[in-house]
């Protein structure tokens, strides 16, 4: 314990013993100031500080095979999450992650979670003291591939804002979302790299075959190298309109493959490692990639990565450059001049904008909208993204159609 105290003072992470790691408490006030400046520039908000590590199993013999346990402690952390830089389990092996007091538990990971990247990124667990446990039958122990490569030390919860959160946001549990239930169910909150968050949405294709295509903003920084770290949380929303912040983060899936991104319209398309579970009732958003514009619009998003909200613009949208004061500019963006109901906030980036036909026409790039002002938002135009590589994937049936509906 004397060594533990010395390392804490020095601010170093370390393995105090063969089976544990310790991380010094973060300076939350300093982080707040840094995040405030970043979010004002339109960057994706962070919820955790990533620590690169290289921790490999130290196996112990057990009755049914072998077990490795590793304890991660980060006093006062809001949450912890874990990136396994090597992950490939044989049949019968399991990975479990749970709080040291056993009050919280992430589902068991098995061979069914193996993927082509051979990585696994966990969702957050709301604890500062966590046990990682891997077990394997003796006969397949040599086939286990696992290494902990990153620990994400959370300094704020999802929904805990750096910029002042707005009270004008409308929960999707409210009556305003009636008729938009399918589109609501296409939207999820995401984390990338175990440290940043945004919003994104499942998107349909012309084959209507439920290929797990998922879209968000390019500035949410999902690249070929970071795509395996994508974690999508579905159904994170309040149970009652204006009620307590009781959203659950249990409906999640981890991992994706990057397909295409474009900077002009700030879009990214990935393919998730698998379809969402049927019981989650996730829908695949329809879209309109034609050059039509001018419909009133609806946004569904996670403001400050709070529980899911819905916003309405009753006036016609217009074409614009990003941040442009005049129309049409270069025509790469759809401009929402000011929200009539609700707003958007940092964390809403990547969320879909629907026209009144319930079809996506763009995803949120940025803007100045907030409760109490009439500033605009700018959505990367789907028509622009279509010509920048989106067509090759979303028109998978080669129909030539530039319109689909939500399924």
Catalytic residue ranges: 219, 266, 349
The answer for 94, left when phi > 0, alpha when psi is -120 to 50, beta otherwise, is beta
Environment class of 223 (CB within 10 Å of its CB; exposed 0-12, middle 13-18, buried 19+): middle
Distance CA 371, CA 261 (A): 31
DSSP 144-174: -EEEEEEEEEESS-TT--SSPPPTT-EETTS
Distance CA 215, CA 363 (A): 8
Q: Strand pairing partners for 66?
A: 61, 136
Distances in Å between the Cα of 150 and the Cα atoms of 52, 90, 193 are 5, 22, 9
Distance CA 356, CA 287 (A): 11
Q: Which residues contact 17 (CB under 8 A, 6 or more apart)?
A: none
Distances in Å between the Cα of 379 and the Cα atoms of 94, 133, 143, 298 are 42, 43, 47, 12
Please count the helices (runs of H) and the strands (runs of E) in the chain. 5, 27
Q: Which two tokens stand for residue 150?
A: 């990153």
Distance CA 86, CA 361 (A): 38
Distance CA 385, CA 362 (A): 9
Distance CA 396, CA 68 (A): 44
User: Could you tell me the end-to-end alpha-carbon distance of the chain, in angstroms, rounded to an integer?
Assistant: 57
């Amino acid at each position: 314990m004397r060594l533990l105290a010395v390392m804490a003072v020095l601010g170093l992470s370390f393995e105090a013993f063969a089976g544990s790691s310790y991380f010094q408490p973060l300076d939350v006030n300093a982080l707040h100031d840094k995040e405030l400046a970043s979010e004002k520039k339109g960057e994706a908000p962070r919820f955790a500080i990533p620590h690169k590590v290289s921790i490999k199993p130290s196996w112990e013999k057990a009755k049914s095979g072998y077990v490795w346990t590793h304890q991660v402690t980060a006093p006062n952390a809001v949450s912890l999450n874990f990136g396994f830089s090597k992950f490939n389990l044989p049949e019968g092996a399991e990975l479990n992650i749970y709080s040291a007091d056993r009050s919280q538990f992430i589902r068991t990971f098995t061979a069914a979670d193996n993927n082509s990247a051979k990585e696994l990124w966990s969702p957050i667990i709301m604890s500062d003291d966590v046990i990682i446990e891997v077990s394997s039958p003796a006969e397949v122990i040599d086939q286990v591939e696992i290494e902990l490569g990153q620990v994400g030390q959370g300094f704020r919860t999802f929904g805990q804002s750096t910029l002042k959160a707005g009270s004008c946001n409308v929960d999707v549990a409210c009556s305003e979302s009636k008729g938009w239930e399918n589109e609501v169910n296409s939207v999820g909150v995401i984390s990338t790299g175990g440290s940043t968050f945004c919003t994104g949405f499942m998107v349909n294709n012309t084959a209507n075959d439920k290929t797990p295509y998922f879209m968000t903003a390019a500035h949410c920084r999902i690249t070929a190298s970071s795509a395996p770290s994508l974690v999508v949380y579905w159904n994170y929303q309040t149970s009652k309109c204006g009620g307590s912040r009781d959203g659950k983060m249990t409906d999640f899936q981890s991992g994706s493959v990057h397909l295409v991104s474009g900077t002009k319209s700030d879009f990214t398309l990935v393919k998730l490692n698998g379809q969402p579970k049927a019981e989650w009732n996730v829908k695949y958003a329809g879209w309109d990639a034609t050059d039509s514009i001018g419909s009133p619009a609806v946004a569904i998003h996670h403001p400050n990565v709070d529980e899911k909200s819905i916003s309405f613009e009753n006036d016609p949208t217009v074409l614009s450059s990003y941040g442009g004061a005049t129309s049409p500019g270069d025509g790469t963006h759809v401009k929402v001049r000011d929200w009539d109901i609700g707003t958007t906030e940092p964390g809403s980036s990547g969320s879909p904008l629907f026209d009144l036909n319930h079809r996506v026409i763009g995803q949120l790039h940025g803007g100045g909208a907030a409760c109490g002002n009439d500033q605009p938002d700018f959505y990367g135009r789907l028509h622009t993204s279509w010509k920048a590589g989106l067509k090759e994937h979303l028109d998978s049936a080669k129909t030539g159609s530039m319109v689909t509906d939500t399924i």
